Chains A and B, each alone.
Chain A
Amino acid sequence: MKDFSAFDRRQFLQLAGIGGGVVFASALARGGASPGTSARGFGDGQAPPVAPADDFFFLQLSDTHWGYSGAANPEADSTLKRAVATINALPVQPDFIVFTGDLTHTTDDGDLRRKRMSEFKAIVGELKTKNVKFLPGEHDASLDKGKAYTENFGETHYAFEHKGLHFVVLDNVSDPAGAVGDEQIAWLKSDLGKLDAHTPLVVLAHRPLFDLYPQWDWATRDGAKVVEVLQTRKDVSVFYGHIHQEHHDTTGSVLHHSARSLVFPLPAPGSVPKKAPVAWDPEHPGKGLGWRRIQPKSDDAGKRIAEVDYAKG
């Protein structure tokens, strides 16, 4: 088995030289503790009584909003391309990369929406890692109930296996009201029903599945029903986007981790009267942007999740 722990530290230090820094963050303690305060790692810490699969890591990128143009990111036409180049420069590539929604910025024009999706695909098609997973955000799918997204990226919810972990991709945006829907929840129950009780589960979605901050619409209309289904398992981690910042929380036995954006950061929930992008800082271009590296099988709980800075700093 590869010694990813030693390797990744060097790798991340190299990343720091290229495009910013890396924050090693467990921050997975129940109750949303601060980074580094918990030894609890990726799942619930309940080691399954089965031999671990090969160690590996994958990346979570989110909220790229390809097509966005505005003061919150005057470099929006190059941010994603730079991220792709930085990731391609890694000496060891991730097993796969997942984009957790809002791949493109919304538009009323269906032709322009498809053009943006096509451009996005061309850019991420340059990734060395060819195993790339997608899911929609409301900017991609809510105005046409997922039609253009499906044409370009396929199903909006699905499941896959990777080295002993079960991954479920949920769609909580094709319904513009931000709901998963009874049909998809029934599919989720059926899918999980086929799993061994000890198989770790990773859920990928765009919006938070719990009421993170409903005043800013940071929730899923029927998220409680989804979480109720997830609670039936012991080892569940949810990775999502939507809120353009790192955030960690728990609901019962389910851990929830949001990722940073690659277009502009948003303020912490409830920290300002009105939700609006954090202003671009010309002294620190790209500040607050980044992506996430997840190493599910690491023996070192403190390095299981790492936040990677995009900033050119």
Chain B
Amino acid sequence: MRTRLVRLLALALFAATGACTSAAPAPATLVHVTARRFEYEPARIVLKRSQPVVLELVSLDCHHGFDAPELGLRADILPGAPARLCFVPERAGTFAFHCDVFCGEGHEDMTGEIVVEP
């Protein structure tokens, strides 16, 4: 019972902060995402509900952003400095993300979606 409670608390912290800490529960699904003008790869990320996730975000050219407002996730992605977002998707559905750091004429097209399966 106590172990389960600790795990739930860790999951809550994991989901609430979006930041990766050493206390993050394991195992988590690691998803590599590259950002470059004006696209993400992959642009469609498929996850399972309640399964902890680590998004590792890498820029191949300039300063980009990763913003998924409906999931409460955002990060700056700087060249040479991978960013990590840790969370537990608690709702099934499709959630859009976009670059929120203006990066040029195609900036508006730099979008993607996270699909959380039940």
Contacts and interface: CB of A to CB of B under 8 A. Distances in A.
Interface of A: 105-108, 138, 142-143, 173, 176-178, 214-217, 221, 274-276
Given A105-B105, A275-B108, A176 B63 contact: yes
B65 interface: yes
A142 B102 contact: yes
B93 interface: no
Chain B, interface size category, equals 10 to 19
Interface string B67-89: 10110000010000000000000
A138 B107 CA distance: 11
Given A214-B67, A215-B69, A217-B67, A178 B100 contact: yes
Interface string B28-50: 00000000000000000000000
Closest CB pairs A-B (n = 4): A142-B102, A214-B69, A176-B102, A138-B102
- By secondary structure, the A interface counts as loop
B69 A108 contact: no
B12 interface: no
B20 interface: no
5 contacts: A106-B102, A106-B105, A176-B63, A177-B76, A177-B100
A221 B96 CA distance: 18
B98 A107 contact: no
B84 to A, nearest CB: 19
B105 A217 contact: no
- By secondary structure, the B interface counts as mixed
Given A215-B69, A215-B96, A274 B111 contact: yes
B98 A217 contact: yes
A177 B65 contact: yes
Q: Which of A107, A221, A276 counts the most chain B CB atoms within 10 A? A: A221
Contacts of B105: 105-108
Given A177-B100, A177-B101, 4 more contacts: A108-B105, A176-B101, A176-B103, A217-B100
Given A142-B102, A177-B100, A215 B65 contact: no
A143 B102 contact: yes
Contacts of A276: 108
B24 to A, nearest CB: 26
B104 interface: yes
A215 B76 CA distance: 16
Nearest to B111: A274
A143 B63 CA distance: 10
Contact of B102 (A173, A215, A216, A274): A173
Nearest to A216: B98
Contacts of B76: 177
B104 A143 contact: yes
A282 B63 CA distance: 39
A35 B23 CA distance: 53
